[in-house]
C-alpha cells in the first residue's frame, strides 16, 4: 500500500506537470482539490481519469464519481487496490 | 445611432434555410439523430445529412471548400440575398468559427498517412481565416473580412464587432455570424472533457450530462440608419444591445455563481438602454453541460430577480453548433420577435434542484414580444449577450 | 503619469523597487524557493507555467503599493507583453503528446500567453480590462502609450509587465505599476529603460 501511494504521488506530479513538487510535499490525507492541499480543479480531475486508465487500467465513466475517489492520495490508493 | 438587421440566413440540422428552421421549431421536431457519417455514426448529433459535394451542388456554390466554409456560404448567401454590392457602401464580413476546415484536413491526413494521397493543397482550407475569406468571396465582398474564434461565443462576438464597426463608421454594412461543421476533432474533444451526452441532451434539467454536438451556420446583415436610406432595405429587427465579459474564475470553466454571465447580460441591457423587465424572452446558451446551465441559471436569477422572463435553450433542436450557435440563435430570436414565438426547451423534465428554474416547455405564437436577449458563452469565461428588438 | 512601484523576478532573485528581496541565485529551483520565501499559501502556483509563476511572485510583492482608495476590482488595467508568447509551454505540450502520447489538458491551458493576466485576475479578483501584446523587444514607448489610453478611459492605474521565458532558458519578469500624476508628470519612458537595464545587470 505504501508503495502504491509513493508511485501515485510521482504519477500525479508527472501527469499534472507539478514539476516544483516532490512526492514528499504531498501528504497522504491532504485534500488534492479545492483551495487547500494541491488546489486542483475539474480539469485536473480529467487528468486523474486518464492516469487511472493508463497506469492501472481502471475506467471511470462518470466524472462526478471522481469527487470522492480523488479526495486524497489515501482515497485514490484505496480505490485502486479495490478495483484492480 | 441604431443598428438594423436587414437580412438573415440559417442552416442547421432542422432545416436548410430560415423557413425550414421555423417549420421545425413550430412542430417541436429535433434535428438530433443517430449520426450517418463514419465519424458520427456512434453518436447522437445534429447533423446536416448532405455531403460537402451535394451541398455545393444543391446551393450552386462556386467553390469546393471545407464543411465549415460551405455551411457558412449557404447561410450568408440566404442573409445577403437581395442585397446589392455597391462601392459607395463599405461592406464587411465577420465570421466566427472554432474548427475552420478541420473536416477536410482529417480526411486528407488519413489519406496522406496511408499513402493514398500526397496532395497538400487540401490544407489550404484548414485555417479559420480561410473559411471567412471563402464565404466573403462567395458573396463578392472584397473589403474588410475578419474571423473571430472565441469558442462558443464566436458568432455573438462577430455580431458585436460588426455593430461596433458600424457605429464607428468603419463599415456601412456588415455580414456577421458564425459557422462550424461537425468533425472528429470536436467530437473527440468534448468526449475527452466528459461533457458529451450519448443520450439526447437535456438543457436546464437536473439530470443533464452534457452536449449533443451539431453543425450549421447563422448570419445577419447589419446596416445603419444612414445605409438603409441608400439601400432602401426593410429593417427586420433592431440589434439593440451587446456585451462581453469574463468572470476571472478559471481558465476554462464558468464560475458556478455565473458572475461573467451576469456581467455580460447587464452590459448588453445597458447598451440597449433597457431594464431587465423589458426583456420578453431569453434564448439561453443552455448547452446542457452541468457547469454551463448551473452558472447561466444563477446569472439569470441575479439579473432578473424574481421576475424571470420565459427562457429556453434551442440546443435541444440543433445540438450545440459551437461557434455557429450565436448566429443560428440570433436568427431564431428574430423569427421569434416577428411572430411572437416562445420556443420550447425540448427534453426538459425536472428543474435543477439548486435553482428551480423551469424553461418554456411548449411552443406558442402570437405572444407580445418586443425584446429578446440571447446568450452565448464560450470556454475561458468568454461570455457574450446580444439583445434583438422589434422594429 | 508616474511609476508607483516596480519589481523584477528572474532566476537570480526577486527584486522590489530595485532592492533584492529573495536571493535565489544558488537555488536549484529558484521560482519554487521565491514562492516559499514569499510565504503565501496558493497551491495553484505549482500548476502554473513559468510566465505565470514569475508574474505571480512579482505581483504579490507589489500589492502594498497599490492605491488604497481605488476600486481596483474594476479600475485596474493589465498591460503585459513579451516576444516569444507561450513558446516555452507550447514546446512542452508538443512533448506531452509526442513522447507521452497523451496531450496534457493541464499544459494545454497555458499554451496562450494571456493566461498570465488571467491567472492574476483570478487570484486578485480583478474584473477590469487586460491585454497581452507580443512584440520584438521591451518597448517603453508602447507601454507608456497603452497606459495613457487606459488611464484616459477612467482606469485608476495600470499594472504593466514585460514577462519573458525564452526557449534558451532566459527568464525575466519586469512589473511596474503606473498611475496618473497630478502635475501631468514626466515622460516615464527613459525611467523604464534605465530600470530594466539596471535589473538585467544586477
Backbone phi, psi, residue C84, to 5°: -115, 20
pLDDT value at residue A33: 87
Looking at residue B376, the DSSP 8-state letter turns out to be: E
pTM of model > 0.95: no
Per-residue pLDDT of chain B (391 residues; tens, 9 = 90+): 899 999 999 999 999 999 999 999 999 999 999 999 988 999 999 999 999 999 999 999 999 999 999 999 999 999 999 999 999 999 999 999 999 999 999 999 888 889 988 888 889 999 999 999 999 999 999 999 999 998 999 999 999 999 999 999 999 999 999 999 999 989 988 887 888 999 999 999 999 999 999 999 999 999 999 999 999 999 999 999 999 988 888 877 788 899 999 999 999 999 999 999 999 999 999 999 999 999 999 999 999 999 999 999 999 999 999 999 999 999 999 999 999 999 999 999 999 999 999 999 999 999 999 999 999 998 777 899 999 999 9
Nearest to C158 by CA among C37, C26, C9, C2: C2
CATH (residue range B1-391): 3.40.47.10
Any long-range contacts for C89-97 (C-beta under 8 Å, 24+ apart)? C89/C49, C89/C50, C89/C51, C91/C167, C92/A17
The alpha carbon of residue B137 is apart from the nearest alpha carbon of chain C, in Å, by: 31
- Alpha-helical regions (H) of chain C: 30-38, 50-62, 72-75, 87-98, 105-108, 115-124, 140-152, 189-201
Neighbours of B266 (CB within 10 A): 17
Domain of residue A62 covers: 2-83
Please enumerate in sequence order all residues whose Cβ is within 8 A of that of B366, keeping only pairs 6 or more positions apart, or say none.
Answer: B339, B340
Is residue C75 helix, strand or coil? Answer: helix
- How far does Cα B171 stand from its chain's mean position? 22
Nearest to B347 by CA among B148, B145, B206, B152: B206
Q: What is the ipTM of this complex?
A: 0.79
Burial A51-66 (b: 16+ CB within 10 A, else e): bbeeebebebeebeeb
Q: Which residues of chain C have pLDDT under 50?
A: none
The total number of structural domains that make up chain A: 1
Q: Report helix angle B128-139 to B67-80, nearest 10.
A: 30
Which residues 31-90 of C are in CB contact (within 8 Å) with A?
31-32, 35, 42-47
C41: nearest CA in chain A? Answer: A36
Give the pLDDT confidence of C21-65 residue by residue, as tens digits.
Answer: 999 999 999 999 999 999 999 989 999 999 999 999 999 999 999
Please enumerate in sequence order all residues whose Cβ is within 8 A of that of C193, keeping only pairs 6 or more positions apart, or say none.
Answer: C140
Q: What is the mean pLDDT of residues A59-79?
A: 88
Taking CB atoms and an 8 Å limit, are C122 and B249 in contact across chains? Answer: yes
Q: DSSP for A3-69?
A: HHHHHHHHHHHHHTT-TT--GGGS-TTS-SBSSSTT-B-HHHHHHHHHHHHHHH------GGGHHHH
Return the C-alpha cell found at C64. Answer: 502594498
Q: What is the mean pLDDT of residues A46-55?
A: 87
Q: Max alpha carbon distance in chain C (Å)? A: 59
What's the CA gap between B342 and B313, in Å, rounded? 11
What's the CA gap between A79 and A67, in Å, rounded? 12
The domain that holds A51 is classified in CATH as 1.10.1200.10
Residue A41 has its nearest CB partner, among B193, B250, B290, at: B250
The alpha carbon of residue B211 is apart from the nearest alpha carbon of chain C, in Å, by: 19
- Alpha-helical regions (H) of B96-153: 102-113, 128-139
CA B279 → CA B269, B368, C35, distances in Å?
9, 11, 49
CATH class (in words) of the domain with range C2-201: alpha beta
Is residue B24 helix, strand or coil? Answer: helix
Backbone phi, psi, residue C15, to 5°: -120, 145
Mutation pick from B190, B248, B261, B379 vs chain C, by most beta carbons of C within 10 Å, is B248
Q: With the CA atoms of B333, B149, B296 and B294 taken in that order, what torsion angle do they form, in degrees rounded to the nearest 10? A: 130
Quick check: B198 and B212 in contact, CB under 8 A?
no
Mutation pick from C72, C111, C122, C126 vs chain B, by most beta carbons of B within 10 Å, is C122
Return the C-alpha cell found at C59. Answer: 505581483
Q: Is any Cβ of chain B less than 8 angstroms from the Cβ of C125?
A: yes
Taking CB atoms and an 8 Å limit, are B263 and C125 in contact across chains? Answer: no
Q: Is any Cβ of chain B less than 8 angstroms from the Cβ of A49?
A: yes
Residue B193 has its nearest CB partner, among A41, A46, A64, at: A46
Amino acid at each position: 500500500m505504501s508503495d502504491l501511494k509513493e508511485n501515485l504521488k510521482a504519477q500525479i506530479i508527472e501527469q499534472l506537470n507539478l514539476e516544483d513538487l516532490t512526492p514528499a510535499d504531498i501528504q497522504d490525507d491532504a485534500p488534492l482539490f479545492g483551495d487547500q492541499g494541491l488546489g486542483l480543479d475539474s480539469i485536473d480531475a480529467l487528468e486523474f481519469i486518464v492516469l487511472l486508465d493508463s497506469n492501472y487500467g481502471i475506467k471511470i465513466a462518470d466524472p462526478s464519481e471522481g469527487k470522492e475517489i480523488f479526495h486524497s492520495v489515501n482515497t485514490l490508493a484505496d480505490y485502486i487496490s479495490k478495483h484492480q | 445611432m441604431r443598428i438594423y438587421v436587414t437580412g438573415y440566413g440559417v442552416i442547421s440540422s432542422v432545416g436548410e434555410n430560415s423557413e425550414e428552421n421555423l417549420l421545425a421549431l413550430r412542430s417541436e421536431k429535433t434535428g438530433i439523430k443517430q449520426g450517418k457519417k463514419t465519424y458520427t455514426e456512434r453518436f447522437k448529433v445534429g447533423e446536416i445529412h448532405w455531403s460537402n459535394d451535394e451541398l455545393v451542388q444543391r446551393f450552386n456554390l462556386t467553390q469546393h471548400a471545407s464543411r465549415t466554409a460551405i455551411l457558412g456560404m449557404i447561410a450568408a448567401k440566404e442573409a445577403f440575398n437581395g442585397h446589392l454590392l455597391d462601392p459607395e457602401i463599405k461592406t464587411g464580413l465577420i465570421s466566427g468559427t472554432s474548427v475552420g476546415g478541420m473536416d477536410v484536413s482529417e480526411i486528407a491526413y488519413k489519406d496522406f498517412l496511408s499513402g493514398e494521397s500526397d496532395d497538400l493543397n487540401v490544407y489550404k482550407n484548414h485555417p479559420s481565416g480561410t473559411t471567412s475569406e471563402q464565404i466573403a468571396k462567395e458573396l463578392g465582398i472584397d473589403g474588410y473580412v475578419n474571423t473571430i474564434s472565441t469558442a462558443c461565443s464566436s458568432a455573438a462576438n462577430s455580431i458585436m464587432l460588426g455593430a461596433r464597426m458600424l457605429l464607428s463608421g468603419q463599415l456601412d454594412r456588415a455580414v456577421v455570424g458564425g459557422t462550424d461543421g461537425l468533425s472528429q476533432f470536436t467530437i473527440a474533444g468534448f468526449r475527452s472533457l466528459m461533457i458529451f451526452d450519448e443520450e439526447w441532451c437535456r438543457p436546464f434539467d437536473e439530470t443533464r450530462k452534457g452536449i449533443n454536438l451539431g453543425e450549421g451556420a447563422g448570419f445577419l446583415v447589419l446596416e445603419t440608419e444612414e445605409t438603409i436610406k441608400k439601400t432602401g432595405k426593410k429593417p427586420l429587427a433592431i440589434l439593440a444591445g451587446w456585451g462581453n465579459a469574463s468572470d476571472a474564475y478559471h481558465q476554462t470553466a464558468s464560475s458556478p455563481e455565473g458572475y461573467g454571465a451576469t456581467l455580460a447580460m447587464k452590459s448588453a441591457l445597458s447598451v440597449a438602454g433597457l431594464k431587465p423587465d423589458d426583456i420578453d424572452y431569453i434564448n439561453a446558451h443552455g448547452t446542457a453541460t452541468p457547469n454551463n446551465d448551473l452558472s447561466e441559471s444563477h446569472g439569470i436569477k441575479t439579473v432578473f430577480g424574481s421576475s424571470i422572463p420565459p427562457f429556453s435553450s434551442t440546443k435541444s433542436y440543433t445540438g450545440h453548433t459551437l461557434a455557429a450557435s450565436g448566429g443560428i440563435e440570433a436568427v431564431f430570436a428574430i423569427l421569434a420577435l416577428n411572430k411572437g414565438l416562445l420556443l420550447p426547451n425540448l427534453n426538459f423534465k425536472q428543474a435543477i434542484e439548486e435553482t428551480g428554474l423551469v424553461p418554456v416547455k411548449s411552443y406558442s405564437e402570437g405572444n407580445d414580444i418586443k425584446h429578446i436577449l440571447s446568450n452565448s458563452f464560450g470556454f475561458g469565461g468568454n461570455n457574450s449577450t446580444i439583445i434583438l428588438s422589434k422594429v | 503619469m508616474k511609476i508607483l512601484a516596480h519589481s523584477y523576478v528572474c532566476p537570480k532573485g526577486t527584486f522590489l523597487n530595485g532592492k533584492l528581496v529573495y536571493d535565489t541565485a544558488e537555488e536549484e529551483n529558484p521560482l519554487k524557493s521565491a514562492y516559499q520565501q514569499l510565504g503565501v499559501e496558493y497551491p495553484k502556483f505549482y500548476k502554473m507555467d513559468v510566465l505565470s509563476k514569475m508574474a505571480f511572485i512579482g505581483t504579490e510583492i507589489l500589492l502594498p503599493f497599490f492605491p488604497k482608495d481605488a476600486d481596483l476590482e474594476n479600475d485596474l488595467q493589465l498591460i503585459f507583453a513579451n516576444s516569444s508568447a507561450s513558446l516555452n509551454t507550447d514546446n512542452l505540450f508538443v512533448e506531452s503528446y509526442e513522447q507521452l502520447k497523451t496531450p496534457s489538458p493541464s499544459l494545454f491551458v497555458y499554451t496562450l500567453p494571456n493566461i498570465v493576466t488571467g491567472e492574476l485576475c483570478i487570484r486578485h479578483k480583478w474584473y477590469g480590462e487586460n491585454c497581452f501584446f507580443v512584440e520584438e523587444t521591451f518597448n517603453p514607448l508602447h507601454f507608456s502609450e497603452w497606459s495613457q489610453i487606459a488611464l484616459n478611459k477612467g482606469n485608476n492605474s495600470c499594472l504593466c509587465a514585460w514577462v519573458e521565458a525564452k526557449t534558451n532558458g532566459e527568464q525575466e519578469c519586469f512589473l511596474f505599476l503606473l498611475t496618473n500624476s497630478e502635475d501631468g508628470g514626466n515622460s516615464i519612458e527613459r525611467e523604464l529603460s534605465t530600470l530594466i537595464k539596471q535589473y538585467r545587470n544586477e
